[in-house]
């Protein structure tokens, strides 16, 4: 068993396999991803998407995309569009696109059937009274005075609720179950409530809208879903899910299976909190590269394959967990290492003057776009007397383990020459304005004919040829691993003031025509992605993720 380098199964997969083995559902597997269109999808949804679509893929079944649009107050078609885009971008294709609102007619018929069976009634208690009558965890509820009214009366009232004869809150349709049930969900739960609100799809056709518990399971049944996967907070609702299907004596009975939702360190994951970040202007929108939304991660440069792989690695179970952001970053690097062309970019420029290199001379060095995969091709990189290097690659007073440029030290300029630092020029305030070096003409192409070794190779750009670029150095949005663990759950108290550092840097001339979405590696600096707002005249890159950095670790240890 131990020699299993493929990721193990998970309990949902095992349930489906078992069902298949036993011939349940006629050997059919049908799942669905049922988002409410009231916000943008995030990495937590990606877990659910990968699970549901993955199940269908693995077992030759189907997976529907169904919008759970039963509360017109919060829902909007803008969200539907973004959700569809995100699911497709992740690489999944739904067998059918449905809306819970497609089933409003059928649901209404079923509601009337429940009334006729004596299993539902129209209640005229106020919202406050309903709450009061429901009791609490420790004390049983008491029956509504309208509980036993004749079915005919409820039928008539429901019809009039539908036609808009009553104000919101005046009447509701409730299931008649058990007001003293241990599970609060069974104390005559609501089925329909009145809302005089225009629905994003059905317009003003309805003045009543079905509640989740009623609509969701029955929608599953209508679509012939076999395995209805949802998150843990619905565990207490499963009994109701089953009750409606049984009460209506439907011939299909989907099985609800609950799993633990994803928590990621250094981020928050609820739509409500993400919306508040957007509304408060903490971020620039749902697709801000710092957001854990699918659209934010896309803009930041996370490849869909990396996200899918991450979802596979984290597994599926029923215990609460907090997945380390480092695992997501690992998946992103692993993918980008194989797929991203290498280029040179300078994030914090410092000028280097090659004293013995002729003024006005320009030569070109060939550099492959990928160290091991020739199919990426190569480009010519211009070299001249004045260069930009990254300020992190030079130190005047270097500690022992610093291998980069420092007075008297020789390093290699990638693909170009060995250079040796011979001096530093400063302004009157002591700030370094330029590093002076000499180069070894024999080392052209970065070769070392005499076998001379150099500790490191650094990246560089010909100052005259470099393209200015705005660099968005994306970091975590929060400084705490669990932002919700801050006092009173005030997650905004640990917002990271440096969540996005904006730098004016340079990139090599081969980047002149890159389009938004283009992903590449700035050698030694990290993976970057061209931002959606980037133009030919104003290049903008988002740092997708840094490189793993041993030097940074050493520096950290020194402190």
Between 188 and 288, name the residue whose CB sits nearer to RNA. 188
User: Any contact of residue 193 with RNA (CB under 7 A)?
Assistant: yes
For RNA, which is the closer residue by CB, 91 or 341?
Answer: 341
Closest distance of CB 189 from RNA, Å: 8
Among 48, 70, 267, 335, the residue binding RNA under the rule CB under 7 A is: 70
CA distance linking residue 462 with residue 390, whole number of Å: 12
Judged by CB under 7 A, which of 142, 342, 379, 420 binds RNA? 342
Residue span 461-500 as binding mask against RNA, x where in contact by CB under 7 A, dash where not: ----------------------------------------
What x-and-dash track marks residues 351-380 binding RNA by CB under 7 A?
Answer: -------------------xx---------
Nearest approach, Cβ of residue 175 and RNA (Å): 12
The sign of the dihedral angle between the CA atoms of 114, 119, 123, 127 is negative
Q: Per-residue string for binding with RNA, 82-101, x by CB under 7 A?
A: --------------------
Q: Judged by CB under 7 A, which stretch of 22-30, 284-292, 332-340, 382-390 contacts RNA?
A: 332-340
Query: Binders of RNA among 243-302, rule CB under 7 A?
Result: 260
Residue of the chain from 63, 107, 314, 539 that contacts RNA (CB under 7 A): 314
Residue 329 CB, nearest distance to RNA (Å)? Answer: 7
Which helix (H) or strand (E) element contains residue 452? Answer: none
Q: Which of 234, 383, 388, 439 binds RNA (CB under 7 A)?
A: 234
- Interface with RNA in residues 156-175 (CB under 7 A): 168-172
Contacts of 321 (CB under 8 A, 6+ apart): 260, 263
To RNA, the closest distance from the beta carbon of 122 in angstroms equals 11
450: contact with RNA by CB under 7 A: no
Q: Of the candidates 461, 499, 462, which has an alpha carbon nearest to the alpha carbon of residue 478?
A: 499
Stretch that binds RNA, among 247-255, 293-301, 309-317, 498-506 (CB under 7 A): 309-317
CA 494, distance to chain mean position in Å, is 20
How far apart (Å, rounded) are the C-alpha atoms in residues 381 and 367?
A: 7
Phi then psi dihedrals of residue 449, to 5 deg: -55, -35
Residue with smaller CB distance to RNA, 300 or 414:
414
The first and second tokens of residue 367, run together, are 């550099």
Q: What is the CA radius of gyration of the chain?
A: 31
Of 77, 109, 116, 127, the residue at the interface with RNA (CB under 7 A) is 127
Minimum CB distance to RNA, residue 548 (Å): 4
Nearest-angstrom CA–CA distance, 508 and 520: 12
* Binding status of residue 31 toward RNA by CB under 7 A: no
**Closer of 35 and 304 to RNA (Cβ):** 35
The answer to whether the beta carbons of residues 75 and 213 sit under 8 Å apart is: no
Question: What are the structure tokens assigned to 396, written together?
Answer: 């005047």
Dihedral sign for Cα 529, 532, 536, 540, please: negative
Report, in Å, the least distance between residue 152 CB and RNA: 22
Nearest partner of 179 among 149, 142, 146, judged by Cα: 142
Binding RNA by CB under 7 A: which of 91, 143, 285, 315? 315
Minimum separation from the CB atom of position 428 to RNA (A): 30
Stretch that binds RNA, among 91-99, 349-357, 377-385, 452-460 (CB under 7 A): 452-460
Binding window for RNA (CB under 7 A); candidates: 52-60, 234-242, 277-285, 380-388: 234-242
* Alpha-carbon distances, residue 129 vs 37, 183, 346, 372, 431 (angstroms): 31, 19, 66, 71, 73
Of 43, 49, 50, 68, the one binding RNA (CB under 7 A) is 68
Looking at the Cβ atoms of 210 and 289, the one nearer to RNA is: 210
Query: What is the CB neighbour count within 10 angstroms for residue 464?
Result: 12
Residue 322 sits in the site that holds RNA (CB under 7 A) = yes
Question: Is residue 348 a contact partner of residue 505, using CB atoms and an 8 Å limit?
Answer: yes
Smallest gap from Cβ 79 to RNA, in A, equals: 12
148 binds RNA (CB under 7 A): no
Is 414 a residue that touches RNA (CB under 7 A)?
yes
Q: Are 508 and 461 contacting, i.e. CB atoms less than 8 angstroms apart?
A: yes
- The piece of 21-29, 65-73, 346-354, 497-505 that touches RNA (CB under 7 A) is 65-73
From 19-27, 88-96, 182-190, 273-281, span contacting RNA (CB under 7 A)? 182-190
Q: Per rule CB under 7 A, is residue 457 in the interface with RNA?
A: yes
Helix (H, G, I), strand (E, B) or coil at 115: helix
- Return the ∠ at Cα 557 (arms to 556 and 559), rounded to 5°: 70
463: its two tokens: 């100052």
Contacting RNA within 430-449 (CB under 7 A):
445-447
Helix, strand, or coil (residue 399): coil
Nearest to 217 by CA among 193, 189, 237, 232: 237
SS3 323: strand
252 CA to centre of own chain: 34
State the virtual CA torsion across 286, 270, 68, 298 in degrees, nearest 10.
Answer: 40
- What φ, ψ does residue 278 adopt, rounded to 5°? -70, -50
Q: Is 71 in the site for RNA (CB under 7 A)?
A: yes
* Cα separation, 408 vs 417, whole angstroms: 16
């Amino acid at each position: 068993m131990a020699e299993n380098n493929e990721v193990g199964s998970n309990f949902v997969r095992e349930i489906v396999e078992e069902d298949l083995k036993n011939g349940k559902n006629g050997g059919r597997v049908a799942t669905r991803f049922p988002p409410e269109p009231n916000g943008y999808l995030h990495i937590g949804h990606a877990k659910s998407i990968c699970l549901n679509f993955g199940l269908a893929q693995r077992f030759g079944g189907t997976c529907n995309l169904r919008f759970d649009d039963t509360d017109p107050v919060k829902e909007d078609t803008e969200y539907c569009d973004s959700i569809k885009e995100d699911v497709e971008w992740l690489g999944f294709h739904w067998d059918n696109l449905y809306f819970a609102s497609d089933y409003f007619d059928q649901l209404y018929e079923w509601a009337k059937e429940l009334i006729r069976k004596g299993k539902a009634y129209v209640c005229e208690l106020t919202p406050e009274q309903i709450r009061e009558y429901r009791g609490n965890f420790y004390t049983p509820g008491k029956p509504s005075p309208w509980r036993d009214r004749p079915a005919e009366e409820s039928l008539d009232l429901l019809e009039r609720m539908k036609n808009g004869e009553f104000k919101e809150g005046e009447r509701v349709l409730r299931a008649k179950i058990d007001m003293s049930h241990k599970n609060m969900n069974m104390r005559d739960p609501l089925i329909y409530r009145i809302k005089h609100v225009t629905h994003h799809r059905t317009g003003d056709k309805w003045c009543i809208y079905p509640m989740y518990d009623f609509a969701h399971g029955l929608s599953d049944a209508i679509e012939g879903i076999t395995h209805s996967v949802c998150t843990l907070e619905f565990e207490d609702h499963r009994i109701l899910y089953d009750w409606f299907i049984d009460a209506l004596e439907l011939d299909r009975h989907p099985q609800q299976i609950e799993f633990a939702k994803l928590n990621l360190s250094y981020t928050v994951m609820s739509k409500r909190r993400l919306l508040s970040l957007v509304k408060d202007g903490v971020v620039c929108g749902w697709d801000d590269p710092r957001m854990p939304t699918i659209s934010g991660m896309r803009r930041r440069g996370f490849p869909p394959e990396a996200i899918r792989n991450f979802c596979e690695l984290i597994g599926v179970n029923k215990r609460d967990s907090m997945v380390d952001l480092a695992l997501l970053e690992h998946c992103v690097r692993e993918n980008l290492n194989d797929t991203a062309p290498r280029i040179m970019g300078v994030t914090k420029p410092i000028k280097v003057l090659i004293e013995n290199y002729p003024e006005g001379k320009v030569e070109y060095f060939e550099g492959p776009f990928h160290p091991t995969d020739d199919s990426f091709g190569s480009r010519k990189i211009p070299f001249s007397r004045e260069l930009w290097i990254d300020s992190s690659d030079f130190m005047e007073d270097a500690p022992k383990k610093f291998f980069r440029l420092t007075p008297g030290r020789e390093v290699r300029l990638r693909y170009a020459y060995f250079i040796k630092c011979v001096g530093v020029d400063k302004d009157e305030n002591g700030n370094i304005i330029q590093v002076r070096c000499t180069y070894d003409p024999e080392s052209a192409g970065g070769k070392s004919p005499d076998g001379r070794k150099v500790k490191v190779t650094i990246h560089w750009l010909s100052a005259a040829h470099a393209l200015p670029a705005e660099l968005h150095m994306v970091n975590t949005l929060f400084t705490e691993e669990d932002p919700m663990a801050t006092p009173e759950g005030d997650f905004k108290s640990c917002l990271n003031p440096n969540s996005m550092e904006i730098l004016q840097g340079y990139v090599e001339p081969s980047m002149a025509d890159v389009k938004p979405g283009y992903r590449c590696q700035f050698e030694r600096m990290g993976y970057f992605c061209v931002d959606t707002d980037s133009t030919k005249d104003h290049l903008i890159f988002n740092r997708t993720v840094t490189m793993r950095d041993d030097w940074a670790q050493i520096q950290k240890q020194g402190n």
